Structures are given as structure tokens and as C-alpha cells.
Amino acid sequence: MAQKEEAAAAAAPAAPAAPASQNGEDLDDLDDPEKLKELIELPPFEIVTGERLPVNFFKFQFRNVEYSSGRNKTFLCYVVEAQGKGGQVQASRGYLEDEHAAAHAEEAFFNTILPACDPAVRYNVTWYVSSSPCAACADRIVRTLGKTKNLRLLILVGRLFMWEEPDVQAALRRLKEAGCRLRIMKPQDFEYVWQNFVEQEEGESKAFEPWEDIQENFLYYEEKLADILK
């Protein structure tokens, strides 16, 4: 059974880990979740922005695993399409990552990436997020959509965050009622993130390699989300 298990130590800064072990041995097996945990640096109490995230971050944080202990960050990849009265569309993209002890990535998006919406512009925003919003972030999204009628938001999530909690389930339903489209990332969506938001070596695009249980976990979370939103 798939479920979200956030690390209890999220409030304390994690010790940085280098891309190689201290004795100089390379840790290049990125398919091993335990080794990935060793490779990932967790900058404490800050929001990080950029255009493309490191490969090891994607492989660890976006994996739609059955148990997600240790994944105490949210990674949010976004595409913003702004269409003015003339019909011309301007698009921008990037990603945010957070520490759960500080501002969450969903909150940071509205504070830093899209702090204000021009009422004369129509905004279509797509998020690809490692896990679904917590109750507080869901409420922020609902408030923003309520006062910004020219904003359309689609959220695709790799995992459901604490989906068994009644307050989280209620928050997800409020998102739907507010007009936010919410769905689980399919294998094709993970591939899209890999191609468009993950660093590629020397400008060459390496093919996405799905993990073994990617389809099984997608179907599980899709069923759980459908039950919550019905």
C-alpha cells in the first residue's frame, strides 16, 4: 500500500552530503534509493529556484514510491503561459524546491514567481510536483484562485501527501471545488519532467528510464485520489 511518510526530523537541517564519499569513492548508482539519500544536499530553511534540477534530485524526490520516508522537500516544476488581449502567448518555466520547515514551494510560487496577475492577461499554469499540497498550501491556492479569475491551474503530483488525514482530504476537495485540476503523474508525465526540467550532460538528452513500480504506484495513487475527490 502506497502512503506518504514525511521525515520527523524535517524541522532540523539535514547534514549535507557530497557527490562522492569521504574516502573518494564515487557513488554513481543513482537507482539505489539509499545511495541517493546520501547524495542529496538539503539546503536548510530556504527556497531554491532554477531552470533545471540535478538528476539525483529528480530520481529520489520525484519517485512515486510506496514509502517516502526521508523525502522532506517539495520539488515544484512549473510552466506559466500568459496570453494577452492580442492573443500572443508568453511562456516561462523553472522549478522551486523547499524545506518543509520553511515556506513551502507552493507558497513560494505565488510569492516569488507569480506575485501578481495582470487582470488583462489570461494565465494557464501547470505544476509538476513531487507530492500533493498540504492543507495549508491547498488553502492558499484556493484563496488565490478565488481572487484571480483569470488564472487556471493544473497540478500533477507524483505522490499524495498524508492522504489518509481527514484535513488533507478535505483540502484536496476544496481545490477541486475552486476549479483547480488535480491529477496523479503518469509515467509519461515523469518523462516530460525528465526531458524539460532535469539537467542533461553536455547538452545531450538522455532517455528517461522508468523505475520498476512506476505504473503500479501511479494506478494506486490515482485510485486513492479518485476516492477522495468523488
Contact criterion met (CB below 8 Å) for 96 and 127 = no
The residues, ordered by sequence, that sit 6+ positions from 199 with a Cβ below 8 Å of its Cβ are 52, 53, 54, 55
Looking up cell 500568459, which residue turns up?
Answer: 82
Specify whether 5 is catalytic.
Answer: no
The grid coordinates listed for 150 are 483569470
Sequence spans of domains, the chain = 46-200+208-229
Catalytic residue among 41, 66, 97, 106: 106
The DSSP output letter for 102 is S
Burial class (CB in 10 A: 0-12, 13-18, 19+), 52: middle
The grid coordinates listed for 201 are 550532460
Name the packing angle between helices 187-197 and 214-229 (round to 10°). 110
Given phi > 0 = left and psi -120 to 50 = alpha, else beta, which region is 70? left
Whether the per-residue pLDDT at 230 is higher than 80: the answer is yes
165: pLDDT confidence band, cut at 50, 70 and 90?
very high
The DSSP output letter for 201 is G
Contact criterion met (CB below 8 Å) for 187 and 7 = no
The grid coordinates listed for 204 are 545531450
The residues, ordered by sequence, that sit 6+ positions from 71 with a Cβ below 8 Å of its Cβ are 6, 7, 60, 61, 65, 130, 131
| pLDDT for res 33 | 54
Tell me the pLDDT tens digit for each residue of 113-154: 888 889 889 999 999 999 999 999 999 999 999 999 999 999
| pLDDT for res 28 | 45
Q: How far apart are CA 130 and CA 95, in angstroms?
A: 11
Q: Percent of the chain, pLDDT > 70?
A: 73
Which residues face 127 on adjacent strands?
A: 78, 155
- Please say whether the structural domain 46-200+208-229 has been given the CATH code 1.20.140.10: no
> For the whole model, what pTM was predicted?
0.76
